[in-house]
Amino acid sequence: MSLPLAISLPSCNRTFVLVSDSCFVSSASASKCLFNATMRIPKKPLHFLCFSLFSFSRPFTPRLPFRGNERRFHSPGANQFHARFPMDDIYLSANDKNSHFQLLTSSDGGQQPYIWSSPERGHKIDIGKQIFCNRSLNMKNIVAVGFDMDYTLAQYKPETFESLCYEGTVKKMVHDLGYPPELLEWSFDSKYMVRGLVLDKKRGNILKMDRHKYVKLAYHGFREMCKEDKVDAYGSTLIRDAFDEPNYAVIDTLFSLAEAYLFAQLVDFMDKNPGKFPNGTDYARMYNDVRAGVDMCHRDGTLKQMVAMNPKRYVNEDTSIVPMLKMLRESGRSTFLVTNSLWDYTNIVMNFLCGSHAPDGSSSCNFDWLRYFDVVITGSAKPGFFHDGNHANLFEVEPETGMLINTDNGTPMPLMGNTSPRLSLNKKNKTTQVFQGGSVGHLHKLLSIESSSQVLYVGDHIYGDILRSKKVLGWRTMLVVPELESEVQLLWELRDRRKQLRLLRNDRDQIEDQLHHLKWSFKFEDINTNEQQEISSRIHELESQRDQVRLAYHKAEHYIHQKFHKAWGQLMKTGYQNSRFAHQVERFACLYTSQVSNLGLYSPDKYYRPSEDYMPHEFDIIPL
């Protein structure tokens, strides 16, 4: 059957790289696997059906033209987050089985989820799976797309993975660091801590700040601090604190949620039981011991051994990853993986995510997943990997054995007594190259990158993945924020209450302006007794109205806060200001979304454009 509309995409040489944090572990116990992965480069134009995605009843717009009216939400302030929310009937619910996760038959006879290039019609992107844009990005200029593995391609389950980390750390602290055995009876609440918090090591406080680094919410352990205590600690100094190391620690990755929760538990426990800790133990030492316990769990392989034995228990399955990678590669781009994990662990996790599965859901140990990447770099030691002055050696990894082969700028060097490299780079059908260590300079040479702006890197760590790659290299960046999916759904549900908050703020400002005017008149103008009584009565009336508005505002604000998170509220807000975390997302992430596979819901040549920024002086001038 002929297609009603097709777009020819030119064949070009683009590379994909996978970057992983995992480290190499001896493969003696691993099953032997055949290494037979080849890189496919299209030799003729590819055709993607796009007729079904666009409605021609109205002019073409950069986003999918959904039906219905649109509402815009704006709050005063520079560089605020602006989203355009169509009406309720636009989005498919997260539980809709007929959404874009509907399984389609793939060319190899298997099943794959809906992606942008699928010929089925009528699919719309759920608001929780949209890609949001901070900085214009034309995908036609991107020749290589790279990925982190942990918490990017591999989304770990907090209730099992973080609990495993928590339990391992507690055992290390009791058995190796001499902490009270009562700690072994504690449990972990995987939903309590959120990203973007700051730990005050010296005071034992946990802080949530706005984009200006003002403390808006603070807990000492699990006890919420009153306004006076917050001001005494953080608002009564002549020089503002920078809230940086060594006195503060930022919870900017999902890996850190368990250690933040344990730190809060220890603060409460020491306040109530000071005699159970050695003399000289303070909050800062406790935090350092928590960090030491976490590092020991990672260093001795406790965590990754458990994950390797049963990946399904600890890692979320995402059947959309492989179709997304295929689509990117078939559009002519290169793909790469860069991770801090070593090869043995990387191979296990990527096999689970991208490998072939038996009917019972089990997966075998093989290297089939490598065909989705041009270069894989393990043990990368990010963020140091991104520094151009990094002179770390690059070793090639032999996938079957995990053996490391020395290289010269990515070219395998002969072993002693051997006159030729183990893997020739000039083979016609070259295989995916797997490396360990090295630096971004090696990566650029392997992929023949001419300009850093040609690379899009997708990661979850605002500092280790996004900030450094953006600030140091100028790579284009996409941040994965899994919490965003539920956050935007709640924003949509609470849109009327958010509007009510804005109206109450306006009412409060107007009442206060009237009060100030009357009090000024009452104090300085020459008025008679009757007028004084009238003004005094009017002042009391306005003060009563102001108090009622304040009370209504605080009730509505508290309700919204509780709906998002009982302790910390909305991830991207503190009150009506952007949170510190949201500010970093806006500064350093060109794009951000809830899942890496959401890339597959958009054209690989899409031009992402941000919404217009507004400053406070523009809101009353430009109709919104």
Report the catalytic residues: 148, 150
Dihedral sign from CA coordinates of 377, 383, 387, 393: negative
What HEC string does 388-455 produce?
A: CCCCCCEEEECCCCCCEEEEECCEECCCCCCCCCCCCCCCCCCCCEEEEECCHHHHHHHHCCCCHHHE
Q: For residues 467 and 548, give the distance between their C-alpha atoms in angstroms, rounded to a whole number.
A: 44
Q: Are 443 and 336 in contact (CB under 8 A)?
A: yes
* β-pair partners for 579: 210
d(CA 324, CA 456): 15
The reply to whether 460 sits in an annotated binding site is: yes
Query: Pick from 621, 577, 622: which is nearest to 77 by CA?
Result: 577
Residue pair 575/215 in contact (Cβ under 8 Å)? The answer is no
Burial of 509 (C-beta count, 10 Å sphere; 0-12/13-18/19+): exposed
CA–CA dist 378, 24 (Å, integer): 8
Which residues fall within 8 angstroms of residue 549, CB to CB, at 6 or more apart? Answer: 504, 507, 508, 511
The answer on whether 21 is annotated among ligand-binding residues is: no
- What's 534's DSSP letter? H
Helix/strand/coil percentages in the chain, nearest 5: 40, 20, 45
Q: Are 352 and 302 in contact (CB under 8 A)?
A: no
d(CA 300, CA 175): 15
CA atoms of 561 and 575, how far apart (whole Å): 8
- What does each C-alpha distance from 285 to 17, 281, 362 come to in angstroms? 40, 6, 44
Element (H, E) at 72: strand 70-73
Judge whether 148 is annotated as a binding position.
Answer: yes
Q: Which two tokens stand for residue 228?
A: 């006076």
In the three-class reduction of DSSP (H, G, I as helix; E, B as strand; rest coil), residue 341 is classed as strand
User: Across-strand partners of 19?
Assistant: 377
DSSP secondary structure, 551-589, as one string: HHHHHHHHHHHHHH-TTT--TTEETTEEBHHHHHHHHH-
Whole-number Å distance between alpha carbons of 147 and 134: 19
What residues contact residue 285 under an 8 Å CB cut-off, 6+ apart? none
HSE (CB half, 13 Å, CA atoms) of 199? 32
Q: What are phi and psi of 224, to 5 degrees?
A: -70, 135
- Other Cβ atoms less than 10 A from the Cβ of 587: the count is 16
Binding-site residue ranges: 148, 150, 460
Numbered residues of the known binding site for Mg(2+):
148, 460
Which residues does the annotation place in the binding site for GMP?
150
